[in-house]
Amino acid sequence: MAVAEWFRSLDPESYPAIASGVDALVAGGGDQRFAFGVETFIAGIASRIPPSAG
């Protein structure tokens, strides 16, 4: 099963973010999707760093 088909087979009530963003998740080529994943991962980590006092 292709990734897009697998994402579309998920229950939208259980996975609303994936269901609403399937097209964005599978857009572009493999390199673009990989870069998007890395950028999203780093942004998530960065969002957990408390602002520095000063």
Query: Can you give the residue range of the structural domain that contains 17?
Result: 3-47
For 19, phi then psi, to 5°, come to -60, -35
Domain annotation covers residue 54: no
pLDDT of residue 1: 59
Domain annotation covers residue 52: no
pLDDT tens sequence across 5-54: 999 999 999 999 999 999 988 888 889 989 988 999 999 999 999 988 76
pLDDT of residue 33: 86
Contact present, 26 and 1 (Cβ < 8 Å): no
pLDDT of residue 30: 86
What is the number of structural domains in the chain?
1
Report the predicted TM-score, pTM, of the whole model to 2 decimal places: 0.56
pLDDT of residue 26: 86
Contact present, 32 and 24 (Cβ < 8 Å): no
pLDDT of residue 9: 95
